[in-house]
Amino acid sequence: MKNLTQEQWKESLEKDENAYLLDVRTEEEFIEGYIPEATNLDIHKGQEFLDELGKLDKSKNYFVYCRSGARSAQACALMNQQGIENAYNLMGGITEWEGEITHQ
């Protein structure tokens, strides 16, 4: 797992053709606004979350975020345990995000 600053994370994400954007907040939080192209996978769902991680393509580079960076750091650690080597945590989360946000 790598903790990246907002700038590092955004720059890496934009340059990475093998990127997969993962939002680990609740569905309610996700609906309120998310980074475009993100897939929502709620870390609070416990075993269901772990099952979904197991289905992910291990060859992709995962850019993970939550509200503040705490849940996404935990998610990245779990991803590493599942054999996903490239998981990048957005420090400060979407709260500090200055890029585009999509609202449903």
The DSSP secondary-structure symbol of 34 reads B
Is 76 considered catalytic here?
Answer: no
Location of structure tokens 């939550």: 66
Radius of gyration (C-alpha) of the chain in whole angstroms: 12
Catalytic residue among 64, 66, 79, 84: 66
Q: Could you give the count of Cα atoms lying within 13 Å of 57 in the half-sphere of its Cβ?
A: 9
Residue 102 has what DSSP assignment? Answer: B
Q: With H, G, I as helix, E, B as strand and everything else as coil, classify residue 44.
A: helix
Report the catalytic residues.
66
